[in-house]
């Protein structure tokens, strides 16, 4: 700490940026120590994310019960000044003596007179009017569109169409390009966020392109106690990719899978329909090369 700040002494005020549970506690602690505190938050009120939670981990305490006493205390504390709807523009100076420029957005409410009755919220005309949002049509290649449209048409009228549609599209395309997911959302009426959530939830689906061959190293318990982790390490080493990655030439994707049910053959690896069982680390390089250094690939290059 430079000596001049010591000489200057402390500036008798602190700024806490962010009025969540952490910021609130910090403000209270500082104010308790006799320091004037400015508590700034970009929202219209302090409280942050915790105010939206029901319970908190790990004790499952009620979030409001933790927060409410602090809110009240901050509201009453003479040394804490709350700056809501505020953005920090500029910070100058050095530790112990900062000058901060804060801009406050307009609230259109006289805070000194407001009692917080909420009548203005209930009567605000813009709130009840639906704002139409223009959703651009999904840009999708015509050939893809036909393919996907056919699949959608087959399942659209059954109950719970989304899963069968996604499964078939996944089988046909090997992964989901974003445009396809948007198109599915548009055609089925499911929100895009929901379609995306489903497409990323299941391990059989992928939103990034996968290799021509997927090497599935079984990570089931039996395979694990028989050393499948060492197989995985060796595959990664040989292919020079990490698990869940694809080689740059898009030939091989390395993947750890949940039990493939070949526990009698543990440790086992599945590539397409072929299963390699009772593997040892020594055999891994041969299998990896069979797919990665693929003969077909060599021929394509030569041709």
Partner 1 sequence: MPARRIELMLCTGTGCVAGGALRIKEALEAELARHGLPDEVSVVPTGCNGFCGQGPLLVVLPDQIFYGWLKTDDIPFLVQEHFLKGRPVQRLMFMPPEKKERIPLLGDIPFFKKQMLLVLRNKGVIDPEKIEDYIARDGYVALEKVLTTLTPFDVIEEITRSGLRGRGGAGFPTGVKWKVCRSEKKIPKYIIGNCDEGDPGAYMDRSLLESDPHSLVEGITIAAYAIGASQGFVYVRTEYPLAIQRLRGAIIQANEYGLLGERILGSNFSFNLEIREGSGAFVCGEETSLIHSIEGGSPEPRQRPPFPAQVGLWGCPTVINNVETLANVPQIISRGADWFAGIGTETSKGTKIFSLVGKINNTGLIEVPMGITLREIINDIGGGIPGGKQLKAVQTGGPSGGCIPNSHIDLPIDYESLKEVGSMMGSGGMIVMDEDTCMVDVSKFFVQFTNDESCGKCSACRDGSDALLEVLTRITEGEGREGDVEFLEELGAAVKDASMCGLGTTLPNPVLTTIRYFRDEYDAHIKEKRCPAKVCKSLTAYWIDPKLCQACLICMRECPGQSIYGEKNIIHVIDQGKCTKCGVCFDVCPPNFDAVKKLSGVPVPSVERGIKVERKKRGKPEQEQVHA
Binding of residue 285 to partner 1 (CB under 8 A): yes
Smaller CB distance to partner 1: residue 84 or 170? 170
- Per CB under 8 A, the list member of 9, 12, 34, 58 interacting with partner 1 is 58
What's the min distance (Å) between Cβ of 247 and partner 1? 18
Question: What are the angstrom distances between the C-alpha of 191 and each of 153, 185, 231?
Answer: 18, 6, 41
Give the three-class secondary structure for 85: coil
Q: How far apart are CA 5 and CA 288, in angstroms?
A: 64
Strand 252-257 relative to strand 269-271: parallel, antiparallel, unpaired?
A: unpaired
Number of residues engaging partner 1 in binding (CB under 8 A): 56
The distance between the two most distant Cα atoms of the chain, rounded to a whole number of Å, is: 82
Smaller CB distance to partner 1: residue 39 or 180? 180
- Per CB under 8 A, the list member of 11, 50, 179, 263 interacting with partner 1 is 263
Q: Which stretch binds partner 1 (CB under 8 A): 6-14, 52-60, 110-118, 137-145?
A: 52-60
Residues 69-88 that bind partner 1 (CB under 8 A): none
- Per CB under 8 A, the list member of 123, 126, 128, 159 interacting with partner 1 is 159
Q: How far apart are CA 94 and CA 287, in angstroms?
A: 61
Question: What are the angstrom distances between the C-alpha of 153 and each of 118, 149, 219?
Answer: 49, 6, 37
Smaller CB distance to partner 1: residue 31 or 231? 231
- Per CB under 8 A, the list member of 29, 141, 237, 244 interacting with partner 1 is 237
Smaller CB distance to partner 1: residue 107 or 197? 197
Q: Which stretch binds partner 1 (CB under 8 A): 24-32, 64-72, 113-121, 224-232?
A: 224-232
Alpha helices in the chain (DSSP H): 3-8, 21-32, 63-76, 119-123, 125-128, 142-155, 162-173, 178-188, 192-201, 221-225, 228-239, 281-292, 295-302
Binding of residue 219 to partner 1 (CB under 8 A): yes
Q: How far apart are CA 31 and CA 120, in angstroms?
A: 33
Smaller CB distance to partner 1: residue 9 or 160? 160
Q: How far apart are CA 293 and CA 92, in angstroms?
A: 59
Q: What's the CA angle centered on 225, arms 224 and 230, to 5 degrees?
A: 55
- Contact flags string 163-202 toward partner 1, x per CB under 8 A: xx-xx--x-------------------x---x--xx--xx
Q: How far apart are CA 162 and CA 164, in angstroms?
A: 6
What's the min distance (Å) between Cβ of 71 and partner 1? 23
Q: How far apart are CA 111 and CA 116, in angstroms?
A: 9
Q: How far apart are CA 137 and CA 139, in angstroms?
A: 6
Binding of residue 221 to partner 1 (CB under 8 A): yes
What's the min distance (Å) between Cβ of 226 and partner 1? 7
- Per CB under 8 A, the list member of 96, 177, 277, 294 interacting with partner 1 is 277
Which residues of the chain form contacts with partner 1 (CB under 8 A)? 56-60, 159-164, 166-167, 170, 190, 194, 197-198, 201-205, 219-222, 224-227, 230, 233-234, 237-238, 257-266, 268, 273-277, 280-282, 285
């Amino acid at each position: 700490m430079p000596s001049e700040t010591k000489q200057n002494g402390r500036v008798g005020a602190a700024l806490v940026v962010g009025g969540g549970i952490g910021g609130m506690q910090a403000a209270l602690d500082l104010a308790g120590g006799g320091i004037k505190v400015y508590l700034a938050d970009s929202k219209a009120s302090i409280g942050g994310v915790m105010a939206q939670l029901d319970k908190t981990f790990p004790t499952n305490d009620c979030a409001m019960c933790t927060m409410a006493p602090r809110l009240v205390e901050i509201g009453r504390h003479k040394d804490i000044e709350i700056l809501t709807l505020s953005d920090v523009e500029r910070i100058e100076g050095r530790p112990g003596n900062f000058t901060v420029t804060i801009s406050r957005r307009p609230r259109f409410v006289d805070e000194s007179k407001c009692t917080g009755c909420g009548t203005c919220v209930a009567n605000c005309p813009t709130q009840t009017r639906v704002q139409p949002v223009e959703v651009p049509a999904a840009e999708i290649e015509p050939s893809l569109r036909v393919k996907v449209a056919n699949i959608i048409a087959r399942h659209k009228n059954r109950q719970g169409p989304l899963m069968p549609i996604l499964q078939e599209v996944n089988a046909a395309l090997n992964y989901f390009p974003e445009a396809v997911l948007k198109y599915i959302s548009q055609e089925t009426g499911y929100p895009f966020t929901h379609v995306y959530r489903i497409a990323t939830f299941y391990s059989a689906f992928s939103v990034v392109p996968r290799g021509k061959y997927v090497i599935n190293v079984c990570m089931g318990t039996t395979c694990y106690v028989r050393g499948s982790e060492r197989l995985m390490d060796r595959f990664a080493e040989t292919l020079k990719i990490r698990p869940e990655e694809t080689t740059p030439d898009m030939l091989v994707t390395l993947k750890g899978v949940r039990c493939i049910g070949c526990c009698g053959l543990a440790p086992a690896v599945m590539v397409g329909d072929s299963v390699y069982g009772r593997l040892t680390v020594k055999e891994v390089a041969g299998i990896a090369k069979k797919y990665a250094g693929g003969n077909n690939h060599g021929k394509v290059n030569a041709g």
